[in-house]
Amino acid sequence: MSQYFSQADLSRIIEMAWEDRTPFEAIAQLYGLNEPAVIKLMRRELKPGSFRLWRARVSGRNSKHLKLRSPAISRAYCPTQYKR
């Protein structure tokens, strides 16, 4: 991977990749990583078991792709996710 990210950026990319409602397109827009690049990053940064769990979770998930997701989903996070 030709791009280098700070530890904070890596943490945020991983967090976004785990979130159900954050599409890969959002990661591409913010960090310039397409879906295969995110998969490669996750494979490198996660433990093997965690990577397998993540892949099983996001494989075929409509909400991870803007073109496949329902038009009713207009935000990338749950209203209760960021409590104050």
Does residue 33 have a pLDDT over 50? yes
In the predicted structure, residue 14 carries a pLDDT above the cut 90: yes
At which residue do the structure tokens 């749950």 appear?
A: 78
**Is the pLDDT higher at 22 or at 53?**
53
- pTM of the predicted structure, to 2 decimals: 0.74
Is-contact 77 22, C-beta < 8 A?
A: yes
pLDDT higher than threshold 60 for residue 70: no
What 3-state DSSP class applies to 70? coil
Mean pLDDT of all residues in 5-14: 95
Q: Give percent of the chain with pLDDT exceeding 90.
A: 52
User: Would you place residue 28 in the very low, low, confident or very high pLDDT band (cuts 50, 70, 90)?
Assistant: very high
When pLDDT is averaged across residues 55-62 and rounded to a whole number, the result is 83
Domain residue ranges of the chain, discontinuous segments joined by +: 7-64
**pLDDT score at 69:** 54
